Amino acid sequence: MSIRRKIWERRIRNFWEDFSHNKIGLLGLAIIMMYVIVAFITPVLAPVNPETSMVANQYAYPEWYATLVPSLRNLPRTTDAVLSWTLQNESSALELARVTVQTMNDTLWIKYNNGTTQVQLLFTAKWNYSWDQPRAFDLKLAYGADPGRGTTSYALELKLTTPSGANKSSSLWDDTFPIWDSYWWRYQIYNKQPPIRYDQIRTTIGYSSWPFLKSKTNASFDMSPNHLFGRLGYSDPVSIVNFYQGMLKDVFGPPGEFTFKMYVTIKPIAATNTTCTINLSKLSLHIPGLVYGLLGTQVFGCDCWSRLIYGVRVSLAVGLVAALLSTSLGILVGVVAGFMGGTIDEVLMRFVDILICLPALPILIVLVALFGKSIWYIVLIIAVFGWQGLARMIRAQTLSIREMSFIECAQASGGSKSYIMTRHVIPNIMPIALADMVLSIPGAIVLEAALSFIGFGDPTTPTWGREFNLAYNVGSGFSDFIWWWVIPPGIAITLLCLAFVFVSHAIDEIVNPRLRRRR
């Protein structure tokens, strides 16, 4: 066993000595190692989930590119903020004596005890914004109410006050802009009354749909007549959305301190003592930027850099696994056909000829459509249709090895056919198989990218081919030439495939005597 190990160690050492003198091979190996390292440290290089949408506005510029272009330097960056509420006295001290306000687990609890008069509370949250003219902003606010005892109505109204003088130039509104209000009417005490009702508010002003267009019967909040577009009489959804896109330039025009005001009104209807509890979460803000990260964003606002980095793992896995499976099949069929000969050889080679004549890409498309768009199905299908050329080459080499004297000695010594094939034939054809396997890896990578591009890739896996598919069919990556979205995946595929071609060429020069003599 030690002698065999020494022989293999000497072979590997001699192989590396020859390989290290090939500059093209070393360059390809260095590029492959770079991709492998990136695949291992993907979570470090790309901490953002590649499927997370709206990390910034769609087609946001890369950060470094915006720095180089003077006209893009002042575009807004993605901003996230969580704001806490501060109580300001609106009602009289006597009315406020009936109210208890406390914060528990980041939730504001407002308790109204044994009151008979209306109470209005004002809560404020201040926020500094330092960029100009975003295209959209999101508000998230969770609230709930327990009617308690008695007959009571409640009202919540959220307003935004811009920096001083921000809206003076417009005649459509004043400094205080009403965003949203909601009413719960006539909560009664019944056994079936739910203790707390929670609603989630998501308001997006900009390119997204406008949730206020829901009817009052279906929406969890109502439109009030004092809202801006209600006052102006806008009814067409397109007009409303376009109006607010233009309005954002005035609301967020000059940077400064913005104030959100939440008015909480509790009004007993009956003349009896009433109790109620209202809870209010912190206000979450998300403003997608127009500049983001190393490679900007694509059509859904996903981080292009994260999707590019996560695609390294998939491409390497597809190429390596498909090449390993196809090479194993090629070695098995080629060695068995060449060594056994006769009927077995004829049957296997005719089967190989049939597979070679079949159009691979249409059959791959049909099989993917039948078995599903899983990345591992695609790998298996690529492997099944990628071994025929290697099998014919291995068969020819096996026919030559079978006639050599050391094979005759092994047969004369009583060695079985399986023993001779595994111990003598396969080790002698492995250098050729290795060179072919390395060369088949880029073919598998390109084939997977082609399937993904035409829509037959795994829709749940971030691959480079899927980026081309989205850019062509969903977004305007090609028509508007969003270069930071479509060019990097193309460069990544080209560079990785070229590296394997370099390595395969170097291996071929080492194992092919003719090429070695020519060098």
Per-residue pLDDT 10s for the chain (519 aa) are 577 777 778 878 888 888 888 889 899 999 999 999 999 999 999 988 898 888 888 899 999 999 999 888 888 888 888 999 988 876 676 667 778 888 888 888 888 887 777 788 889 898 888 887 677 767 777 777 776 666 667 777 777 777 754 443 333 344 455 555 554 433 332 223 333 333 333 333 332 222 322 222 222 222 222 332 222 223 333 333 333 444 565 566 677 888 888 888 877 766 566 777 888 888 888 788 889 989 999 988 899 999 999 999 999 999 999 999 999 999 999 999 988 888 888 899 998 888 888 887 788 778 777 777 788 888 888 888 888 888 998 998 898 888 888 888 888 888 888 888 888 888 888 888 888 888 889 989 998 888 888 888 888 888 899 899 888 888 777 888 899 999 999 999 999 999 999 998 888 888 776 655 454
What is d(CA 105, CA 99) in angstroms, rounded to the nearest whole number?
A: 19
**If you count them, how many residues does the chain have?**
519
What is d(CA 421, CA 394) in angstroms, rounded to the nearest whole number?
A: 12
Q: At the topology level of CATH, where does 11-46+297-518 sit?
A: MetI-like fold (1.10.3720)
What is d(CA 152, CA 201) in angstroms, rounded to the nearest whole number?
A: 23
**Within 10 Å of residue 441's Cβ, how many Cβ atoms?**
28
**Within 10 Å of residue 53's Cβ, how many Cβ atoms?**
15
What is d(CA 397, CA 365) in angstroms, rounded to the nearest whole number?
A: 33
User: CB–CB of 464/442 below 8 Å?
Assistant: no
CA-based nearest residue to 60, from 203, 204, 207, 201: 207
The residue whose two tokens read 């506005």 is 57
- Please give the class, per CATH, of domain 77-287: mainly beta
* Helical packing angle, 342-357 and 304-340, nearest 10°: 150
User: CB–CB of 344/336 below 8 Å?
Assistant: yes
Query: Could you say which DSSP state residue 423 is in?
Result: I
Alpha-carbon Rg of the chain, whole angstroms?
Answer: 35
Report the predicted TM-score, pTM, of the whole model to 2 decimal places. 0.74
User: CB–CB of 101/135 below 8 Å?
Assistant: no
User: CB–CB of 16/503 below 8 Å?
Assistant: no
Q: Where do the CATH 1.10.3720.10 domains begin and end in the chain?
A: 11-46+297-518
